[in-house]
Amino acid sequence: MRDILPTLGGWYAAGSPFGLATVVAVSRSTPRDPGAAMAVGPDDEVVGSVSGGCVEGAVFELAREVVADGEARLETFGYSDEDAFAVGLTCGGEITLLVRAVSPGTDPVFGEVAASVAGDRPVTVATVVDGPAPRGATLAVWPDRQAGTLGATGLDVAVAADARGELAQGTTGSRHYGPHGERREDAVTVFLQSFAPPPRMLVFGAIDYAAAVARIGAFLGYRVTVCDARPVFATPKRFPDGVEVVVDWPHRYLRGTDTDGRTVLCVLTHDPKFDVPLLEEALRRPAAYIGAMGSRRTHDERLKRLRDAGLDDAELARLRSPVGLDLGARTPEEVAVSVAAEIVALRWGGTGKPLTMTAGAIHPGPTEPL
Per-residue pLDDT of the chain (370 residues; tens, 9 = 90+): 888 999 999 999 999 999 999 999 988 666 678 999 999 999 999 999 988 767 889 999 999 999 999 999 999 987 554 433 445 555 557 889 999 999 999 999 999 999 999 888 899 999 999 999 999 999 999 999 999 999 999 999 999 999 998 898 888 999 999 999 998 899 999 999 999 888 999 999 999 999 999 999 999 989 999 999 999 999 999 999 999 999 999 999 999 999 999 999 999 998 889 999 999 999 999 999 999 999 999 999 999 999 999 999 999 999 999 999 999 999 999 999 999 999 999 988 899 999 899 888 776 544 333 2
Non-local CB neighbours of 103 within 8 Å, separated by 6+ positions: 12, 15, 16, 17, 18
CA–CA separation, 49 and 39 (whole Å): 8
Sign of CA dihedral 232, 233, 238, 244: negative
CB under 8 Å, gap of 24 or more: what pairs does 283-287 form? 283/311, 283/315, 283/316, 283/318, 283/319, 284/311, 284/315, 285/254, 285/259, 286/259, 286/260, 286/261, 287/259, 287/260, 287/261, 287/263, 287/318
CA–CA separation, 333 and 233 (whole Å): 18
The partner residues of 292 in beta bridges, in order of sequence, read 267
Strands 289-292 and 319-320: parallel
Q: pTM to 2 decimals?
A: 0.71
Cα dihedral angle (334, 316, 301, 282), rounded to 10 degrees?
A: 70
* Backbone angles phi and psi of 47, in degrees to 5: -130, 150
Q: Fill in the amino acid letter for 331.
A: T
Closest CA to 305 of 319, 290, 286: 319
Helix, strand, coil share (%) of the chain residues, nearest 5? 35, 25, 45
